[in-house]
Structure 1
Amino acid sequence: MRFKDKVALVTGGKNGMGKAVAMRLLEEGAYVAVGDIDELNIERYLSDFASKKDRFIFVKLDVTNNDSIRKCVGNVIDSFGKIDILINCAGIMGPVKPTWEITENEWDQLMNIHLKGTFLCCKEVISYMIKQSYGKIVNVSSVSAKEGNPNFSAYSAAKAGIIAFTKSLAKEVATKNINVNCISPALIETRFLMEMSEEQKAVLLNKIPMGRVGKTEEVAALIAFLVSDEANFITAQCYDISGGRSVY
Structure 2
Amino acid sequence: MNNLLLNKRIVISGAARGLGLSFATACAKQGADVVMLDILADEVHSQANLLKKQGLKATAWQIDLADASNIKSTIDNVIAHSAQIDGLINCGALATGVGGKNMMDYDEDLWDRVMQINVKGTWLLSKALVPYLKASSAGKIVNIASDTALWGAPNLMAYTASKGAIISMTRSMARELGEDNICVNCILPGLTIVEATAYVPQQRHDHYVNGRALNRKQYPEDIDGTAVYLLSNLASFVTGQNIPVNGGFVFN
TM-score category (smaller protein):
over 0.9
Q: Secondary structure at the match of 2:104?
A: helix
- Report the equivalent of 1:18: 20
Of the three residues 218, 234, 241, the one matched with 2:245 is: 241
Question: Structure 1 residues 41, 164: CA separation in 2 closer, same or farther (over 3 Å shift)?
Answer: closer
Question: Structure 1 residues 41, 177: CA separation in 2 closer, same or farther (over 3 Å shift)?
Answer: closer
- Report the equivalent of 2:225: 221
Unaligned ranges ≥5, structure 2: none
Question: Structure 1 residues 168, 44: CA separation in 2 closer, same or farther (over 3 Å shift)?
Answer: closer
Of the three residues 156, 174, 182, the one matched with 1:152 is: 156
Shift of 1:132: 4.1
**Native 8 Å contact 1:95 1:106 kept in 2:** no
Shift of 1:95: 2.8
For 2:183 and 2:65, how far apart are their aligned partners in 1?
Answer: 21
Equivalent residue letter for 1:124: A
Q: Secondary structure at the match of 1:128?
A: helix
For 1:81 and 1:118, how far apart are their aligned partners in 2?
Answer: 20
Equivalent residue letter for 2:102: P
Equivalent residue letter for 1:142: S
Equivalent residue letter for 1:45: Q
**Native 8 Å contact 1:12 1:35 kept in 2:** yes
Q: Secondary structure at the match of 2:37?
A: strand
Quote the sequence identity (%).
29
- Report the equivalent of 1:5: 7
The reply to whether residue 171 of structure 1 matches residue 175 of structure 2 is yes
Shift of 1:67: 1.6
> What are the Cα deviations for residues 107-143 of structure 1, in whole angstroms up to 9, with x where unaligned?
1111111111111111111122224453100000000
Give the alignment of 1:9-158 within 5 angstroms: 9-41=11-43, 44-51=46-53, 55-93=57-95, 94-132=98-136, 134-158=138-162
Shift of 1:44: 4.5
Question: Structure 1 residues 72, 157: CA separation in 2 closer, same or farther (over 3 Å shift)?
Answer: same
**Native 8 Å contact 1:76 1:83 kept in 2:** no
Shift of 1:175: 2.2
User: What TM-score do the two structures reach when normalised by structure 2?
Assistant: 0.92
**Native 8 Å contact 1:184 1:239 kept in 2:** yes
Shift of 1:47: 4.2
For 1:209 and 1:132, how far apart are their aligned partners in 2?
Answer: 39
Of the three residues 182, 188, 194, the one matched with 2:192 is: 188
Question: Structure 1 residues 73, 103: CA separation in 2 closer, same or farther (over 3 Å shift)?
Answer: same
Of the three residues 206, 210, 214, the one matched with 1:206 is: 210
Q: Secondary structure at the match of 1:49?
A: helix
**Native 8 Å contact 1:193 1:201 kept in 2:** no
Shift of 1:201: 2.1
User: What TM-score do the two structures reach when normalised by structure 1?
Assistant: 0.94
For 2:242 and 2:44, how far apart are their aligned partners in 1?
Answer: 32
For 2:188 and 2:28, how far apart are their aligned partners in 1?
Answer: 23
